[in-house]
Amino acid sequence: MQWQNQPRKIIEPVESIALAEFIGILAGDGHLSTYQVTMSTNSETDVQHAQYVAGLGARLFGVLPSITRRSERKVMVVVFSSKAMASFLVTKGLLIGNKVTQRLRMPKWIADNSAYSAAFLRGLFDTDGSVFLDKHRIKHRMYAHLGWQFTSAIPELLLDISSFLQERGFRFSSSPLRRNIHIRRRADVERYFQEIGSHNDKHLSRLAAFKEQIRRGG
């Protein structure tokens, strides 16, 4: 899908839940250069989410993106070609270039607001998170539990997310060496999706399928 006639000027959105989520998405699978804002995702499992990101960015900034599918690499790339948009996002806490080596953090204006922090985490998890079935055997019997995992190569970002989850009363474990955070109690996994939510149908579909599998005893 290709949209043309991109405006030179942008809408400069006010701080909001939608902007915090968009920044969370870019903190996960995004990249900023001087002239472009891009988000890359899996072309087989995340088509719906790529379209959601494209629409969200267009509504926030008035910039129409291109969406390119690279089937041989199983990648879908959403591209906003706008120097003004990239510059504005830097003022809101994102970084041009490698966010890992520059140690990206949750922006302070987001961290200081619980609703914005939740939206940031929603965007971040929707790109760099997963729902899984945690199986283990006890005395020759197999048990299955819902699992939630967020992975990042940025220790400071893991710390920011851990602090937010702790403040909200979620029970979780973290492993900086393995670069991840886990929630393994079903009540907390379900509460995450009730309170924080998701705009990625992949996660919601997997959650529903795993809950049904557990209900059936498998």
Q: Is the pLDDT score of 176 beyond 80?
A: no
Averaged pLDDT for residues 163-186: 91
Q: Is the pLDDT score of 31 beyond 70?
A: yes
pLDDT of 137 reads 65
Averaged pLDDT for residues 83-106: 97
Q: Is the pLDDT score of 55 beyond 50?
A: yes
Averaged pLDDT for residues 142-150: 85
| Tokens encoding 127 | 């790109």
pLDDT of 1 reads 45
DSSP state string for 81-145: E-HHHHHHHHHTT--BS-TTTTT----HHHHT-HHHHHHHHHHHHHHHEEEEEEEEEETTEEEEE
List the domains of the chain with CATH numbers: 17-120 (3.10.28.10), 127-215 (3.10.28.10)
pLDDT of 215 reads 76
Averaged pLDDT for residues 9-16: 96
79 vs 72: which has the higher pLDDT: 79
Tell me the pTM. Answer: 0.91
pLDDT of 175 reads 79
SS3 58: helix
